[in-house]
Amino acid sequence: MKKYKVIIDTDPGVDDSACLLFTFFDKKLDIKLFSTVSGNVRVETGTRNMLHLLDKFNVDFPVAKGCAKAMERTTPTAENVHQKEGMGGYIPPKTTKHKILEEDAVEAMYRIISEGDGDIIPIILGPHTNIATLIVKHPDVVSKIPRIIFMGGSPYGLPGFPDHISFNIRSDPEAFKIVLDSKIPLVMIPSDMGRRKAYLTEEMVYQIRDTNDVGKFMFTMYDKYWERFFPDKRIATNDTCAYFYLIRPDLFTCKRISMTVDLDETPGKTIVNYDKKGHILLTVAVKRKQFLNLYMKKLKELDYIKFD
């Protein structure tokens, strides 16, 4: 079985947490590091959430705390969506058994990528502050990263996509521009994918609740995370889309693009053009039924996990 060596850069976050608990047990993944960044919640809160997930699911992976603020601007949070503690309706304890590494996320990322064989794939689930800081501080790392898979952005300029400013990009557009300009091959999972194409219906969310103990835990988070601005009740699978792309790219239709990011007039706006020579793959469609079947299969595989 082919195993993907990954660094998962995250800002947990309800959608992050739901994604991460699947990654813990995926035999296709060789997780070298979880790095945290300020985004959905402050980096201190997100780091605590990351460590608590390791406690709760009785797994052990290295975790490094990353950047607490954007590179050049005030860092927003999305506590209005993810709630103050970042995990929706679930309230984690204040302290954790697991601890962070002594080295910060940027240095840990550099060490791990340098020790690799050009085969460490960063998966960016939050703002790009950590990976951009890495590129600025250690520019030699660019040639050692085979590709980056990231969740965020909205393809302005393409038909069929909503006009939307992605939280992950607008939180630190200067960081994203650094990543774009590096010319590292990118796979873009726009936020549209999890909200409009691979979302969970209300019926499915209750099915998740009734599946097993892990499903009950997910439901507790989800019950304060329903998408806004839609006529139906739904839950976005944003970050899970990025993870599923890695392990099942056949579920997605992609097109090659070039892209720029606005830093001034509408910070975070990503302007996209189809470009056969572009260094970015954009996911434009997903096989919805197969995606949701995989989601439930992953959940069912965790039947053996019991919580008190």
How many other C-beta atoms are found inside a 10 Å radius of the C-beta of residue 209? 16
- How far apart CA 122 and CA 133 sit, in angstroms, is 14
pLDDT band at 124 (very low <50, low <70, confident <90, very high): very high
* pLDDT over 80 at 19, yes or no: yes
Which tokens go with 178?
């650094």
Q: Using a pLDDT cut of 90, give the percent of the chain over it.
A: 89
What pLDDT is attached to residue 4? 97
pLDDT in tens, 195-252: 999 999 999 999 999 999 999 999 999 999 999 889 999 999 999 999 999 999 999 9
Look over the chain and give the mean of its residue pLDDT values, rounded to a whole number: 95
What pLDDT is attached to residue 67? 97
Closest CA to 37 of 116, 113, 104, 112: 104
- How far apart CA 103 and CA 299 sit, in angstroms, is 33
What pLDDT is attached to residue 269? 95
Global pTM reads 0.96
**Contact residues for 61 (Cβ-Cβ < 8 A; gap 6+):** 24, 31, 33, 34, 54
- How far apart CA 174 and CA 268 sit, in angstroms, is 9
What pLDDT is attached to residue 85? 85
For residue 8, the one-letter residue type is I
What pLDDT is attached to residue 53? 98
Mean pLDDT for 76-89 is 85
- DSSP symbol at 307: -
pLDDT band at 79 (very low <50, low <70, confident <90, very high): confident
Order across the sheet with 4-10: list the strands: 63-65, 29-36, 4-10, 120-124, 148-151, 186-189, 280-286, 252-261, 270-274
Closest CA to 54 of 84, 24, 93, 11: 24
Q: Give residue for tokens 């607008």.
A: 170
pLDDT in tens, 277-286: 999 999 999 9
- How far apart CA 42 and CA 86 sit, in angstroms, is 9
Domains and CATH numbers, the chain: 4-200+237-286 (3.90.245.10)
What pLDDT is attached to residue 242? 98
3-state secondary structure of 261: strand
Mean pLDDT for 291-300 is 98
How many other C-beta atoms are found inside a 10 Å radius of the C-beta of residue 122? 27
What pLDDT is attached to residue 1? 75
On whether the CB atoms of residues 37 and 130 are closer than 8 A, the answer is: yes
* pLDDT over 80 at 258, yes or no: yes
On whether the CB atoms of residues 174 and 132 are closer than 8 A, the answer is: yes
What pLDDT is attached to residue 291? 98
pLDDT band at 68 (very low <50, low <70, confident <90, very high): very high
